[in-house]
């Protein structure tokens, strides 16, 4: 943001999207540093949005939940190995009980929100931390 904002201000237009994950809105045992960083990113998003509100720039954060990516698949494999489960059992027992829709997100669902926020139609949305979480986070 620090590198991009001067040019955006010069152009009178810009869109910044930070990815805070659901961890920016909740805590997880054993992940104090990670969750603190994500909470801080939401705070930074809101301050930057206020500081650029009259410059044609919007600044938002997206808070995705469980996305079906290689990273998450590796985490599931680790959890499965640690608990003597298959990866599907780990998903069903560890993660999906937290998700009302009982599913992982497709990366395209997050991309759709990003496309909207960077579009001209999204110009009225700034200083927000938007959940794309299949219901995992509701605030």
- Inter-residue contact 62 to 107 (CB < 8 Å): no
Catalytic residue chosen out of the listed positions 5, 34, 56, 125: 34
Residue 34 annotated to the active site:
yes
What is the maximum alpha-carbon separation in the chain? 56
Task: For residue 70, report the phi and psi dihedrals to the nearest 5 degrees.
Answer: -55, -35
- Token pair listed for 102: 């009982």
Residues with catalytic function: 34
């Amino acid at each position: 943001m620090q590198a991009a904002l001067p040019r955006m201000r010069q152009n009178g237009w810009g869109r910044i999207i930070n990815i805070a994950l659901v961890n920016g809105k909740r805590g997880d045992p054993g992940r104090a540093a990670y969750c603190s960083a994500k909470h801080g990113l939401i705070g930074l998003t809101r301050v930057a949005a206020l500081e650029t509100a009259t410059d044609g720039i919007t600044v938002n954060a997206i808070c995705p939940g469980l996305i079906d990516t290689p990273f998450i698949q590796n985490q599931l494999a680790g959890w499965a190995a640690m608990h003597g489960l298959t990866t599907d059992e780990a998903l069903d027992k560890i993660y999906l009980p937290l998700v009302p829709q009982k599913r992982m997100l497709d990366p395209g669902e997050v991309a759709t929100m990003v496309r909207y926020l960077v579009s001209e139609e999204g110009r009225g949305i700034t200083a927000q931390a938007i959940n794309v979480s299949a219901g995992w986070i509701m605030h």
